[in-house]
Amino acid sequence: MSGQLVSIGTDIIECVRIAQMIEKHGEIFLQRVFTPREIQYCSSRKAATQHYAGRWAAKEAVLKVLGTGWAKGIQWTDIEVINEVSGAPTLTMHGKAAEIARERGIREVMLSISHCRGYATAFASGIT
- What class has domain 5-127? alpha beta
Separation between Cα atoms, residue 95 and residue 74, nearest integer Å: 8
pLDDT at 112: 98
β-pair type (119-127, 79-83): unpaired
Q: What digits encode the pLDDT tens for the residues 7-47?
A: 999 999 999 999 999 999 999 999 999 999 999 999 999 99
Q: Where are the domains of the chain?
A: 5-127
Indicate the pTM of the whole model: 0.94
Kindly write down the DSSP assignment for every residue of the chain, as one continuous string: --S-EEEEEEEEEEHHHHHHHHHHHHHHHHHHHS-HHHHHHHHTSTTHHHHHHHHHHHHHHHHHHHT-TT-TT--GGGEEEEE-TTS-EEEEE-HHHHHHHHHTT--EEEEEEEE-SSEEEEEEEEE-
Q: Chain-wide mean pLDDT for the chain?
A: 95
Q: With 80 as the cut, is the pLDDT of residue 71 above it?
A: no
